[in-house]
Structure 1
């Protein structure tokens, strides 16, 4: 069984209106929340075998703040297509994940990450899912289990939504 962990980047800074969107860094809250979510993932024994990450600075900084909470993890693969990706593009990236990986982290952006969560899921929408599928707050994290043997076999509408958490749930 494969597991997909969808992580929206942590809270970014809007202090410099002239900075390009792709170059926006995390703000203080983002730098505090990213490790909090990493601790939650570790407590749930969700350790990545493979990591896909958007090239946006806020995504890279989110992972940099999370990484120290995991003992040994692979280096993330930056994928330009994940910057503001729609669900179809994100699914295509997921499909190229090495077969040996069992737990995949994908760090991206809203609205694509929420749309991807909605399209991946098979189960009825509960309260936790409703948040993941609509607002998907910064540093929000959704967990899916997939019955696929190969990542290329992962399809929309055939994956089991397991958990969703955001920083405010943990403090």
Structure 2
């Protein structure tokens, strides 16, 4: 079984209009959201063993905050392919993951994340900033993952009421 954590980067800043989109950092809310979501994952029994993030600054900032907060402190890899609108990049990156890892997190952007979740038929809404969806695949190899067989087992976002 493989578990893929899909996380949208935390809330970014638009304060400096001269910055390229790729270079936008997190805003104060984003710096609060990312650790909050990692703390919620700490309360869950399953955590990512590795994190692969988009090369955008806001995604890398999110990855660092999440990794620092998670109990297991997973390593972070940066993949420029995740800085895209296309959902196919998520599958392509996931298929390259090390099979020693049963769990992995991809931190990326909308619309790619929304499109991916819609394609697997699991989530029709907008995944908010810092939102996390976890899908499972009945396989022992990342190369064999198939969106048709994916199952959504976890969905959370910062403003969701936790009981």
> TM over 0.5, yes or no?
yes
Q: What's 2:42 paired with?
A: 42
Is the 1:47–1:73 Cα contact (8 Å) retained in structure 2?
Answer: no
Give the stretch that moved more between structures: 62-71 or 35-44.
Answer: 62-71
- Paired with 2:107 and 2:133, the residues of 1 have a C-alpha distance of 11
Equivalent residue runs for 1:11-160 within 5 Å: 11-121=11-121, 129-131=123-125, 135-160=126-151
Q: Which aligned segments of 4 or more residues in structure 1 are displaced greater than 4 angstroms?
A: none
Count matched residues. 162
TM-score (norm 1): 0.89
Higher relative helix content: 1
Kindly provide the CA deviation profile for residues 26-59 of structure 1, in whole angstroms up to 9, marking residues without a partner as x: 0000000101100111111232112111010000
TM-score (norm 2): 0.93
Q: What's 1:161 paired with?
A: 152
Unpaired stretches in structure 1, ≥5 consecutive residues: none
Is the 2:136–2:153 Cα contact (8 Å) retained in structure 1?
Answer: yes
Unpaired stretches in structure 2, ≥5 consecutive residues: none
Is the 1:120–1:155 Cα contact (8 Å) retained in structure 2?
Answer: no
Aligned-pair Cα RMSD in Å: 1.4
Is the 2:8–2:113 Cα contact (8 Å) retained in structure 1?
Answer: yes
Q: CA deviation at 1:24?
A: 0.2
- Paired with 1:76 and 1:46, the residues of 2 have a C-alpha distance of 17
